[in-house]
Structure 1
Amino acid sequence: MHPSARISAAIEILGDLESRRRPASDALKDWGLSHRFAGSKDRAAIASLVYDALRRRASARFLMKSETPRAEMIGALFFARDMSVDEIAGQFSGIGHAPAPLNEAERQSLAAQNLEGAPDWVLGDYPEWLGPHFSRAFGDEAVAQGRALATRAPLDLRVNTLKATRPEMLVELEHLGAQTCRSAPFGLRIPQGAAGRGAALDAEPAYARGMIEIQDEGSQLAAALCRAAPGEKVLDLCAGGGGKTLALAATMDNRGELFATDSDGRRLTPIFPRLERAGAKNVVVRAPRGKNDPVADLDGQCDLVVVDAPCTGVGTWRRNPDAKWRMRPGALEQRQAAQDEVLAKGAAFVKAGGRLVYVTCSLLCEENEDRVAAFLSQNPDFACESAGDSLRLAGLDGLEGAASPHGPGLRLTPARHDVDGFYVAVLIRKG
């Protein structure tokens, strides 16, 4: 497909998203099924265009003075692709499958490059209703944090220390330009290709042999802050597909017991082949069956309980930009209730002197510091470890400014730490 035809396809998919309000991945899949002539490179390029437009939707609409999918795409090419007016006009030629030529109003909007008078939510490309929440969480940095969340995410890998070392994988993946992550001790970062196209890891022997796992550096740091140790009894209460479970198993060097469960057993399905590939042998997966709690026998016995709580996912907007526009205020309230519930459940499994680690991939105070404060007020037998102690005990460096200014815990953000957004609080049960 010609690049201009890919732009037309992306505009079509953006229109589908606007009318049907569904995940971008579903719309992209359906488009591919109905346009089988498009090759894998075409589909990847179209997806990249769609996600760039979603990342910059608010600022693109403001710049173009229009809320149409066409305006979103034009604005995204300008903001996310750094294309000049003439370069954009060259793609909007109206020839063949190219979009119709730019009209005079569109040319003027692009030439003016004017975001003067735009509110913070437009400058930061986040939903208007989240404005007060961003102001509370970030203060004067709200726009900068929003813009960082509107960039493309890097491709980060975690070296599986059960099978390999980071120096070995740096050599193995040298042809991909692998570099060490800034703070994660076993992290590697692969530079992005043109237009955000990532490396084809499925073709890499190191990936097939379980020597590396795809995991954002922020998620790796959250797992490191848990300080799972060989010989401990550990419970991953919201294991899902097993990303953090695998990291914990490696940290434990396959010694001790690591139980992985989730309230929705279907989310555990991907964990089994991942565990086998990674060589993680100390993990026991317990899926829920009926009304019986699959980990009830662990009550009060665990050295560490990890609660990777369900959340709005604000911190993952770089990877899931469509999620921020589908998010509604009611979802935030629902998540808070679920977070309180899972924190209370997790606390019951922690033994005296043990750790309850609360993790979210959100950056909103309502899901993070507020939830920990509410939990501590109801559970005086727990205390929150200071951010400095958590970093020191985990042996982590390069995380300046990670201590939350709003209460207990740590905040990792793309603007400050170049990672997905995460919140981590280490809670200690008093002996």
Structure 2
Amino acid sequence: MTPSARLSAAIEVLADIEARRRPAPDALKDWGLAHRFAGSKDRAAIASLVYDALRRRASAAYIMGEGSPRAVLLGSLVLARGLDAAAIAALCTGERFAPEPLSAEEARRLADPDLSDAPAAIAGDFPDWLAEDLSAAFGDRLVEEMQALAARAPIDIRTNTLKTERARLQPLLAHLNPEPTHHAPTGLRFSAGEDGRGPTLQVTPEFLKGLFEIQDEGSQVVAALVGVAPGMQVVDLCAGGGGKTLELAALMDNSGQVFATDADVRRLAPIHDRLTRAGVRNVQVRTPKGRGDEPLADLTGKIDLVLVDAPCTGIGTWRRNPDTKWRVRPGALDERMKEQDLVLDRAAKLVKKGGRIGYITCSVLPRENDARVAAFLERHPGFVSVDPGELLALAPDTLSERDDLISPAGLGLQLSPLRTGTDGFYCAVLERSR
């Protein structure tokens, strides 16, 4: 496919997403099935165009004066890819499979993409109903923070220290140009190319041998901040596919015991193969047998650390999942908050005196973060919040003196693309004092 044909395809996919209000991956998959002539590189390039357009949907529509799929795509070529009006006009010729030529109005707007007077939700590319929540999180740096959250994300991996070391892994992947992560001590980072694509790491021999896991640097950092240590009895209460379970096992050097479970048994399905590939021996998977079953009942009051990687809106991952930001609704936020309260209450029953709960979200909203911790402390007077300064002391040297990472209410730490170059993650630790 020509670059022009790829633009036409991306406009078609964006129209399908808008008309049917469906996730971008589903629309892209269906387009590929209906256009089997398109090769893997074509499909990847089209996906990259679609995701760039979704990242900058609001600001692209603003500079173009309308929000049609074509307008959003054309505007994103300026805002996300830095193309000028002449370059875009050269792609839009109306010839075989190419988009129709630019109108005089389109050409004028593309030549002067001015966002200087745009409202915060437009300039920062986020739903305007979240403005108050996001302002509470970021204050006068709101637009700058949200623009960083609308940029492309790199690909990060975590070295599996049960099998190798970063210094040994990096040369094995040298042909893919990895760089050490800035904060996480065992991470490597791969930058996306001009087309937004990164390397296909899952097919490398090193991945298949379990030498690394794909995991954002922020996720790596917050999992280490909860204070896990070898020999502990640990529960991963929202284990899902096992990403943080695997990191816990490595931090514990395969000693002690990790009990991994999830209320959604379908999310647990991949964990078994991943544990085997990673060489993990200290994890016991507890799968619920049905609705209302508590697979951890025998562990009540016995656990040193419960990791709650809580269900959330996922706003901190908008760089990677830009379509979700336009599909999230106030009702979904309310539902996530209820789930967060329930899972924290469940965690409280498992912790022994002196034990801790590590509460993590991939969100930047105070209502999902500090507010949930504060509500928990009101319900459970036997717990206290661990000073975020103690968490910073456990952080890598690059973060250990970063007081600006302390969350608005002072109950945890908040990472973000602008502050730390990672996805948006929140972390707080709660200790049972009696």
Cα distance, 1:272 vs structure 2: 1.0
In structure 1, what is the Cα distance between the partners aligned to 2:154 and 2:105?
A: 35
Moved over 6 A (4+): none
CA distance, structure 2, for counterparts of residue 246 and residue 412 of structure 1: 21
Identical pairs, percent: 56
The code of the aligned residue for 2:423 comes to D
Alignment partner, residue 28 of structure 1: 28
Letter in 1 for 2:269: T
Q: Deviation digits for residues 187-220 of structure 1, max 9, x if unmatched?
A: 1101222311111213321111000110000100
How many angstroms does 1:170 deviate by? 1.5
Secondary structure of the residue aligned to 1:83 is coil
The aligned counterpart of 2:263 is 263
Q: Give 1:292 shift.
A: 2.1
TM-score scaled to structure 2, two decimals? Answer: 0.98
Count of residue pairs brought into register by the alignment: 431
Most deviating of 53-62 and 191-200: 191-200
Partner of 1:155 in structure 2? 155
1:414 aligns with 2:420: no
Distance 1:180 1:396 in 2: 14
CA contact (8 A) 2:184 2:396 kept: no
TM superposition shift of 1:380:
1.5
> Contact 1:227–1:394 (CA<8 Å) still a contact in 2?
no
Structure 1 counterpart of 2:354 = 353
SS of 1:121's equivalent in the other structure is helix
1:105 lines up with 2:105 in the alignment: yes
Contact (CA 8 Å) 1:182, 1:398: kept in 2 or not? no
Q: Deviations over 1:253-301 (max 9, x none)?
A: 1111101000010000111111111001111111111232111111111
SS of 1:357's equivalent in the other structure is strand
Amino acid at match of 2:391: S
The alpha carbon displacement at 1:394 in A equals 4.7
Give the corresponding residue for 1:56.
56
- Mapping of residues 299-338 of structure 1, within 5 Å: 299-338=300-339
Q: Deviations over 1:349-377 (max 9, x none)?
A: 01111110100001001100000001111
| Amino acid aligned to 1:243 | G
The CA deviation string for residues 153-184 of structure 1, in whole angstroms up to 9 with x for no partner, is 10000000000001001211122111111111
- What do you get for the CA RMSD once the two structures are aligned? 1.0
Q: CA deviation at 1:395?
A: 4.9
Shift of the alpha carbon at 1:398?
A: 2.7
Aligned to 2:174: 174
In structure 2, give the amino acid aligned to 1:52: D
5+ long unaligned stretches in structure 2: none
Structure 1 segment 339-378 matched on structure 2, within 5 A:
339-378=340-379
SS across alignment from 1:352: strand
Amino acid at match of 1:250: A
TM-score, with normalisation over the residues of structure 1?
0.98
The unaligned stretches of length 5 or more in structure 1 are none
Give the 5 Å matches for 1:12-411.
Answer: 12-290=12-290, 291-398=292-399, 400=402, 401-411=404-414
Contact 1:4 1:91 in 2 (8 A): yes
- Are positions 1:428 and 2:411 aligned together? no
SS in 1 for 2:360: strand
